[in-house]
Structure 1
Amino acid sequence: MLISLAGLWSMSLTGHAAGTLLHDIAVDLQFLHLVAVSAWVGGLLALVMSRRALGTHLAVAVRHYSKLAGWCLVVVASSGLFGAAIRVQEISGIWSTYGAMLVLKSSALLVVGGLGWWQRHRLVNLLAEGGRNAFLRLAIIEAAVLAGATGAGVALSRTNPEAALAVTEPYTAAETLIGSALPPELGAAEWFTQWSLDTLWLLIALFMIGLYLLAVRRMRKRGDTWPIVRTAAWLVGWLLLIWATNGAPGAYGRVLFSMHMVQHMTVATAVPAFLVLGAPITLALRTLRRRDDGSAGPREWLQRVVLSLPAQILGTPIVAAGLFIVSLVVFYYSSLLQLSLESHTAHVLMVGHFLLSGYLFANSLIGIDPGPERPPYPLRALIIMVTFGFHALFSVSLMASNQVLAEDWFVALGRSWGRDPLADQEFGAAIGWALGDYPLAIMAGALIVLWVHADRRERRRFDRSETRTNGEQLAAYNEKLRKLAEANESRSKS
């Protein structure tokens, strides 16, 4: 699957998305578009090819596929709509060759959506009654329409939209490098007013927020409760990610090293701490339904991932802490930093990697979700202190360095305002050091709360045990102390 996603990502870097000032946004939308289309078409072909092997389970498979296809339709339509808005900014562009093919593709999408609705409401019942020929006929029609829509999409990728972002003046150095003009000088107001859309992470964050709220709603509908504090932590985590990738850190992160450090530390430390406190895996396991038809659904796949050997190894505190520290050093003291500034692909991978490594580290210490056995609380506190001690050492070494990281990049941008690159790097290192403190406080506070609750549970367990045994354990312990006292007294007399 990872190989397939990598192939689709490389396709999204060309075609529609090539040559526009909003290249990064176009790439993200194109990638989502291709993933949804591939899942939609691939799922349909898989059903057709395996219909005989599925036997009586075909109706079940079609029912599950229909849900997937419905989500794919939403993603394909929305990503295509916003992608078209980027390339065809004026309504007159609809009458161009590009616009005509866009209308053709949209019409095919509507037809396929209608067929999917019929499949969802009528065909599943026919299959349950043995109507396999109806499924084959509908699948052939749907595949033909999808093939036409795909052909129109291929033609679109090779057609220049006449009304799309016509360039009347040469690009500046900043427009060539980052796909847009340099933002204004960073002041107090710009922290709130400057935004740069990062479509991929924005949609991921909104999707995860929506899933979480739906799960909480499902729990409440059946009479169960879920702590509001955990819901709030989950929302804060994803809202912080949206701000870090789309707000001022996203707008200035490729222009100022200091703002890059704000983005990095927010993504790697603050966001994971809040997400872990949301306990998403526990919530998912409590709300996702077990499948009783022999197939593996989201709940079953989630359990497989959580219990897999890689997850067990990477989720141990020592490994997670080591990954967190080593990633930090390797990223900044190699060419990876400049690569993440130059390449949208590398930037996406950077955000994903540090978000995941930070999550593994935080979950191994303050999480309640299923995973590897966590060490005793004193050892967890020690791991937190040692890890952030290494982080402070890294920040101090960066502050003392006279070598500008990614110097070629920051000089080539032609920025005429603000600190020079070396001074900005020193300021960014200080920010990174400071921003490491408040996630530390969050994790330390959460660890103390978990520690206190664990002690209370152990005390209640002991009290219940004493009640059942009429205090036999306490009496035996007191008798042991009495004998030790008598032995000490006899030795002192002798």
Structure 2
Amino acid sequence: MALTGSNSATDLADAGAFVRWALPVAETVHNFAMTTTMGAILFAMAVVPRYADSARGKLRLNTAHKFSKQQVADREEYPAFTAVLNLAASAAVTWTIFAMAVLVLAYADISGRPVSLSNSYTSELLSYITTIESGMQEATTVVVAAVVATLVFGVRSLMGLFLTLAISLIGIIDMALGGHSSGGADHMGAVNSLGLHLLGVVIWCGGLITLVFLSRLISSDDAGEATIAGSRRACGDAAGRRVPMAVAVLRRYSALALGGFILVTLSGILNAAVRMNNLGELFSTAYGGLILSKFALTMLLGAIGALHRLTLIPAMEKGSVSKTRGLWTAILVELVLMGGTSGLAASLSRTAPPVPETLDEGASPARILTWYDLPPEPHVAEWFTQWRFDWFWVAFCLFAAYIYIWAYIRVRRAGGTWNLARLLSWLWGLFLLNYVTSGGLAIYGRVLFSAHMVEHMSLTMIVPVFLVLGAPITLLLRALEPRQDGTRGPREWILRLVHSGWSKVITNPIFAAVNFAGSIVVVYFTPVLNFILKYHVGHEFMIVHFLITGYIFSLVLIGIDPIPRRPMYPIRLILLIATLGYHAFVGIAMMNMESLLAASWFGNMGRPWGLPAIDDQKLGGSLMWGIGELPTMIIAVAVAVQWSINDKKVQKREDRQADRDGDAELNAYNEMFEKLAERDEQSRR
């Protein structure tokens, strides 16, 4: 900051040197505490065993192993698991304290007033928290940190830690929404790329800090062993090799760090591109210089990580490098470089980017409402040539495609079979999802109700069908190897979630149908629609909700992936017909409405082209009715085909059984009727 002058005093509203330097220091400690909290919870969930007997080879576990409540209570926790939760608790408390410090210092910095204990200052601070968006976001972070700190002290179950981690991720969302890059020319691109950047930092840096903290415990002689993939790497091969715990933990962290590195690098490039006008500003501005320095250190970190993964970890597995030396070789260099990178990131947060973050004077109504200029009038070509990438969903689609292709290749190499049509269905579904979230539908869905309705119907009725037919869970369960050392890897987490009580509720056919149909009323006939349109987090929530709702409904009807309970085929058809009728009813109701939904949004867009807002809304209602027909018919045909195939399988199974036992079931059935006939004959006599 001293080199770039980003923290120098200002002529207007300067809160003093203490606030100028205390705020970035508090932000740095806050960020490290948040990162450490999440990294430690992630380690407890998936990297180190929970119990000592499984970690030290005294008990080999598999997915079918069950313990009574008393047996669970009597089991001794693995020291590394206890230590990592103690680290999470300490870090969460630190996160809470410094989140409050950031809140107070940020208000002082914005208002230009030194921190004070006077009543007037306290009253103004309270007003900042309750009325100003940045104050509300910082206060939300305080609440999230306090909740996580409370939970991490008492939660011990892995599912409880999973939920705690999910709550802590709200802190990342909050930082992305209130971050330095949330303004500018591409608001949503800036927010999503920053969110992905922070997620990568949490995985990479948080994991490294946790690894430092655990190094002594996992490198000791009594740390025990863990299971890693065997040399054959066959699907479902539970044999695996037993290796020192330090090697297993380092290998698992290395995989997480690789994912974190990819996220940090790509999202950092995207975020920098959003905040800069051209490449020349990389060399002509202080902001660009910081970007280049940070990028260079990140690349160096990635290269060192690759070297560790390719040479150091195999050497530790062979025993040519001691556990302690290997761990600290991996830790020290990365820790120093990561500290420097984090320092540059803190300086970047206090340096103004070349692209201004405020709206220009005379901004159009569309830009004021949506953060973007009004797109051109949509003709046929515009629906396919207009793109505004939603980087969160781009990242999701690329990751989902990579994982599926990896699992497909792994199954085929192990001698298994998998229908190529399912692979193509999955990839096509991801392509459609990327188009719906980043293409013409996403752009015009912000300014036209009719386009928004097509976007909604695509997310809930078209995209999920192709994704469900891909059967990703079944493929992953065949490709992933089970762990035998008490840790819960990807395969174990998939099985745990599939068989959880939560899964039993949301995949219940009645709940799935009501959720699928009822979401329409909740979204379009309540203030939820205004929230979805006005706020970025609301827009992303809409996509997630509609996609998951449609996926679960399609999974219940035509999926082959495991769920706790699948309804009989007649029930599936009844549910399908009922939801089809409901969509038609709501669509006709919208076509006949004379009041405008979200009038403050669609009515103030200032479009010089297209239908009037109320007529466009009626068009949206007709599209809801029409679009719902074709996917429903396709699903109905799929249900009928599956019903027929299932009947044939049942018939063949019964025929084979009859051949084995001489048609004993049919003979018993006939004998029952003969006895009934004899009884009737005797009663007549």
TM-score by length of structure 1 reads 0.94
Where does residue 22 of structure 1 map in the other structure? 186
Instruction: Measure the CA separation in 2 of the matches of 1:203 and 1:154.
Output: 25
SS at match of 2:603: helix
Where does residue 201 of structure 2 map in the other structure? 37
Which of 348, 360, 374 matches 1:182?
374
CA apart distance, 1:476: 3.6
Where does residue 379 of structure 1 map in the other structure? 571
CA apart distance, 1:40: 0.4
CA apart distance, 1:395: 1.5
Worse-matched range after superposition: 170-179 or 1-10: 170-179
| Aligned residue type for 1:50 | L
**Larger helix proportion, structure 1 or 2?**
1
Where does residue 171 of structure 2 map in the other structure? 7
Where does residue 476 of structure 2 map in the other structure? 284
User: 1:32-56, CA deviations, whole angstroms, 9 ceiling, x for partnerless residues?
Assistant: 1110011101111111212333324
Instruction: Measure the CA separation in 1 of the matches of 2:543 and 2:389.
Output: 15
Where does residue 78 of structure 1 map in the other structure? 266
Worse-matched range after superposition: 294-303 or 116-125: 116-125
Where does residue 214 of structure 2 map in the other structure? 50
User: 1:53-96, CA deviations, whole angstroms, 9 ceiling, x for partnerless residues?
Assistant: 33241210001111111121111111111222222232320121
Worse-matched range after superposition: 468-477 or 416-425: 468-477
SS at match of 1:50: helix
Q: Does 1:124 align with 2:316?
A: no
Instruction: Measure the CA separation in 1 of the matches of 2:517 and 2:359.
Output: 45
Residues 163 and 324 (structure 1), Cα distance of their counterparts in 2 relative to 1, 3 Å cut: closer
CA apart distance, 1:98: 0.6
Instruction: Measure the CA separation in 2 of the matches of 1:439 and 1:345.
Output: 28
Worse-matched range after superposition: 29-38 or 228-237: 228-237
Instruction: Measure the CA separation in 2 of the matches of 1:79 and 1:126.
Output: 33
Instruction: Measure the CA separation in 2 of the matches of 1:43 and 1:233.
Output: 35
Unaligned runs of 5+ in 1: none
Where does residue 289 of structure 2 map in the other structure? 100
User: 1:112-149, CA deviations, whole angstroms, 9 ceiling, x for partnerless residues?
Assistant: 11321232234324545433144235413312211211
Worse-matched range after superposition: 36-45 or 366-375: 366-375
SS at match of 1:17: coil
Worse-matched range after superposition: 144-153 or 110-119: 110-119
Q: Percent identity?
A: 39
Instruction: Measure the CA separation in 2 of the matches of 1:408 and 1:432.
Output: 22
Q: Does 1:151 align with 2:339?
A: no
| Aligned residue type for 1:23 | H
Instruction: Measure the CA separation in 2 of the matches of 1:344 and 1:439.
Output: 29
Q: Is the 8 A contact 1:88 1:164 kept in 2?
A: no
Residues 470 and 312 (structure 1), Cα distance of their counterparts in 2 relative to 1, 3 Å cut: same
Q: Is the 8 A contact 1:381 1:447 kept in 2?
A: yes
Q: Is the 8 A contact 1:219 1:226 kept in 2?
A: yes
Residues 134 and 378 (structure 1), Cα distance of their counterparts in 2 relative to 1, 3 Å cut: closer
| Equivalent residue runs for 1:361-440 within 5 Å | 361-440=553-632
Where does residue 61 of structure 1 map in the other structure? 249
Worse-matched range after superposition: 77-86 or 186-195: 186-195
CA apart distance, 1:167: 8.4
| Equivalent residue runs for 1:241-320 within 5 Å | 241-320=433-512
Q: Does 1:112 align with 2:269?
A: no
Q: Is the 8 A contact 2:507 2:565 kept in 1?
A: no
Worse-matched range after superposition: 135-144 or 40-49: 135-144
| Aligned residue type for 2:255 | K
Instruction: Measure the CA separation in 2 of the matches of 1:346 and 1:211.
Output: 28
Instruction: Measure the CA separation in 2 of the matches of 1:464 and 1:26.
Output: 62
Instruction: Measure the CA separation in 1 of the matches of 2:566 and 2:304.
Output: 50
User: 1:160-200, CA deviations, whole angstroms, 9 ceiling, x for partnerless residues?
Assistant: 23367998874322222222221111222322222222221
Q: Is the 8 A contact 2:512 2:552 kept in 1?
A: yes
User: 1:248-278, CA deviations, whole angstroms, 9 ceiling, x for partnerless residues?
Assistant: 2111001000000000010011111221111
CA apart distance, 1:314: 0.9
Instruction: Measure the CA separation in 2 of the matches of 1:478 and 1:125.
Output: 69
User: 1:364-409, CA deviations, whole angstroms, 9 ceiling, x for partnerless residues?
Assistant: 2221111121121111111111122222222222222211101111
| Aligned residue type for 2:170 | A
Worse-matched range after superposition: 406-415 or 454-463: 406-415
